Structure 1
Amino acid sequence: MKAIVLENGRPILKEIPIPKLQEGDVLVKMKACGLCGTDIEKICGQYTASQPILGHEPAGVIHESTIDWLKPGDRVFAHHHVPCYECYYCKKGSPTMCPYYRKTNLDPGGFAEYFRVPAWNVKRGGVLKLPDNVSFDEGAFIEPLATVIRGQRRVHIDKEDYVLVVGAGPMGLLHVMMAKANGAGKVYTSDVSGFRREFAYKVGADYSFNPTKEKVEEEVRKLTDGRGVDVAIIASGAPQAILTALYSVRKGGRVLLFGVPYKGTVLNYDVSDLLNNEISVISSNAAVEEDTREALEVIASKRIDVTKLITNRYRLEEFEKAVREAKEGKTIKAIIYD
């Protein structure tokens, strides 16, 4: 079968054997898999939070199964990381910190004709059947939307809150859409890309700032009677994005650290401002099964239309082109298919 694998830091399309199943495993025929910014960061050697396996947003069809409730032909989403739900971290409400969480993954990853979902993931709810009204393209958004849902739950967006999303890539735009669905009042975005800034308006942003021409924190305060936003969401790994969020939030406000900072990130920031202004900085890392189930419900009920974000589709053989065009800023969300 064809699969994209990392070799010496480069993504290579290779012919490899179809994974063999053990008891409790399922084999999925990939139909759609989103290309994530973290895939790009893994390729570039910038990602700090996981093993370098590519493709974690897949949807497809069960091809072979060793369990009764999943049968060949079932349309499914598969989650790549699943915690144990039994350890200290899981029981204390930190399941993504479970020591088993990042040890689990799809084999060989989502960018493959077929991938194996291990029994560990299957047994703990890592495979969801897709309703008939959810397409494979929509299924490929379950994992990224789940991380957004978890992040916004952790930072807590109240009705009519003013929200700033720093970084208008696909994850930032999902934050815009979900914040609106959650009842936020005004939602602003900031991005250096004109393409992304204009796209933000298409998914509900009330204003999109150009940080190369505007002092974002000053403009935000003009629009909030001098206060600043109630919630600032950092959907970028750039150090300046973190600073923009910290300087744009109101006294007593909340900052969500969502984008993965680059390796070696150091901030020139006076930490006493956090205490003096009672600013809460909350991080959110990945998602678990309560989040993927909620994401599927949001998509199936059409509370938001995730397909608005799809700008490009590529076959597996075009993966190198997909990565290149994503790095060049020519896409919002790219879907890889077989």
Structure 2
Amino acid sequence: MPYDERIDSLPTKMKAVVAYKPGDYRIEEIPLPEVGDEEVLLKVGGCGICAGDVKGYHGAPSFWGGEGQPAWIQAPFIPGHEFYGQVVALGKGAKEKYGLSLGDWAVSEQIVPCGKCRFCLDGKYWMCEVHNIYGFQGKVADGAYTEYIRLPRTARNHKLPNDFQFRLAPYIEPLGCAIHAVERGDIQFNDVVVIAGLGALGLGMVQAARLKNPKLLIAIDIKENRNKLALEYGADYVFNPKEEDVASKVKTLTNGYGCDVYIQASGHPAGVIQGLQMVRKLGRYVEFSVYNDPTTVDWSIIGDRKELDLRGAHLSPNTYESAIRFIHKGQIKPEKVITHEIPLEEFKKGFEMVEKGEESIKVVLIP
């Protein structure tokens, strides 16, 4: 293998979860990936299970194609994009390019941009037209449900501080996404902000939004344990849409106007309609969710009735440094969000835990 530097004890084989088609994910022994110029090999320390991973496992059309959507996944592939690891090999030029040395701990942003399309050339790398993301495109960007992962030459890698609590590192990726969604909301001091959906992402959004210090911060979820955690993380109010009319509650708190910013992170169609009902005229609606099914809404609310500023939020552009800093300094605390760490071989159990979400929030697979 064309390593420039490597540790002496690298194996030739590694165990990995390999995905062939929806529902057909297997633990296999496969060759260790080769590392080329400006590439890095990490020994994986842990990798979180994302809701998108579970939806991919179940064959969501937005991943595998169907229902008018093109296939995006390239099987067979190794899933997993919320990872961290230790540098065990460096290709020629990688040390200089990334400032990484053997033994360093690092993370890599979930997208591996092509560096050549109009978006990459314009600095909008997170919207890369090719759009390879770790854990969905085999060979090109295999993920981290494995013992070792290759970081391609166009990857965006970040070194972790030596005293970082590494077991918290799988939360860097979802927190980076959460920070981006909060930034898209352009939160001001006098704003009333609502965050709907308190999974790992939503709870990160609550903590990030608290740092913006809005006038009121409201969190919404149907699970009471997550609502309680949101209060601990700085929410002023929490509401359960199964038990109360949350749109009416928010309007009561705002003299009938509605919230200034609504961030949708639940992935449930009802959350979209709920948000359109409770956001004020000329308000800002931020959409950060992956849906299993299309959502139908009355678009006249967006235009004719409220003239809303509708903003999408995708991935975590230029937020990894902030996410690392916030966790490192204790300004954002993922300890209670990372609820379970289980062996890689138990990935199906992990998927079930994430899907049910009863006792778990963020589940991390340990190879």
Tell me the equivalent position of 1:224.
Answer: 254
Tell me the equivalent position of 1:162.
Answer: 192
Picking from 274, 296, 321, the partner of 1:267 is 296
Which structure 2 residues correspond to residues 183-202 of structure 1 after superposition, within 5 A?
A: 183-202=213-232
Structure 1 residue ranges without an equivalent (≥5): none
Alignment of 1:174 with 2:196, yes or no, is no
Query: Helix, strand or coil for the counterpart of 1:298?
Result: helix
Larger Rg: 2
Query: Helix, strand or coil for the counterpart of 2:111?
Result: coil
AA matched with 1:110: A
Which structure 2 residues correspond to residues 45-64 of structure 1 after superposition, within 5 A?
A: 45-46=59-60, 48=62, 51=73, 54-64=79-89
Q: More displaced, 187-196 or 71-80?
A: 187-196
Tell me the equivalent position of 1:5.
Answer: 18
Picking from 350, 361, 365, the partner of 1:322 is 350
Task: Give how far 1:215 is off.
Answer: 1.4
Which structure 2 residues correspond to residues 20-35 of structure 1 after superposition, within 5 A?
A: 20-35=34-49
Picking from 134, 141, 144, the partner of 1:110 is 144
Q: CA RMSD in A?
A: 2.1
Task: Give how far 1:155 is off.
Answer: 2.2
Native 8 Å contact 1:166 1:244 kept in 2:
no
Tell me the equivalent position of 2:269.
Answer: 239
Q: More displaced, 272-281 or 108-117?
A: 272-281
For residues 50-91 of structure 1, the C-alpha deviation after alignment (integer angstroms, 9 at most, x for no partner) is 536521011110111113343221111122313355643245
Alignment of 1:119 with 2:153, yes or no, is yes
- For 2:305 and 2:365, the matched residues in 1 are separated by 47
AA matched with 2:195: V
Task: Give how far 1:221 is off.
Answer: 0.8
Which structure 2 residues correspond to residues 85-96 of structure 1 after superposition, within 5 A?
A: 87-90=117-120, 94-96=124-126
AA matched with 1:2: K
Task: Give how far 1:139 is off.
Answer: 2.0
- For 1:277 and 1:222, the matched residues in 2 are separated by 18
Query: Helix, strand or coil for the counterpart of 2:336?
Result: helix
Query: Helix, strand or coil for the counterpart of 2:230?
Result: helix
Structure 2 residue ranges without an equivalent (≥5): 1-13, 64-71
- For 1:85 and 1:249, the matched residues in 2 are separated by 38
- For 1:99 and 1:268, the matched residues in 2 are separated by 28
Native 8 Å contact 2:176 2:316 kept in 1:
yes
Native 8 Å contact 1:19 1:107 kept in 2:
no
**Distance of aligned partners of 1:103 and 1:139 in 2 relative to their CA distance in 1, 3 Å threshold:** closer
AA matched with 2:280: R
Query: Helix, strand or coil for the counterpart of 1:40?
Result: helix
Task: Give how far 1:97 is off.
Answer: 2.2
**Distance of aligned partners of 1:318 and 1:78 in 2 relative to their CA distance in 1, 3 Å threshold:** same
Native 8 Å contact 2:132 2:141 kept in 1:
no
Native 8 Å contact 1:47 1:260 kept in 2:
no
Query: Helix, strand or coil for the counterpart of 1:6?
Result: strand
Native 8 Å contact 2:231 2:238 kept in 1:
yes
Task: Give how far 1:203 is off.
Answer: 2.1
Alignment of 1:19 with 2:33, yes or no, is yes
Native 8 Å contact 1:41 1:47 kept in 2:
no
AA matched with 1:115: I
TM-score, normalization by structure 1: 0.91
- For 2:302 and 2:181, the matched residues in 1 are separated by 23
**Distance of aligned partners of 1:184 and 1:85 in 2 relative to their CA distance in 1, 3 Å threshold:** farther
AA matched with 1:6: A
For residues 5-50 of structure 1, the C-alpha deviation after alignment (integer angstroms, 9 at most, x for no partner) is 2122133222111111122211100002111111111111226265
- For 1:135 and 1:194, the matched residues in 2 are separated by 28
- For 1:119 and 1:285, the matched residues in 2 are separated by 22
For residues 167-217 of structure 1, the C-alpha deviation after alignment (integer angstroms, 9 at most, x for no partner) is 111111111110001212222122222332233223222222111221111
Tell me the equivalent position of 1:83.
Answer: 113
Task: Give how far 1:306 is off.
Answer: 2.1
AA matched with 1:212: K
- For 1:93 and 1:229, the matched residues in 2 are separated by 32
Task: Give how far 1:92 is off.
Answer: 5.0
- For 1:60 and 1:201, the matched residues in 2 are separated by 32
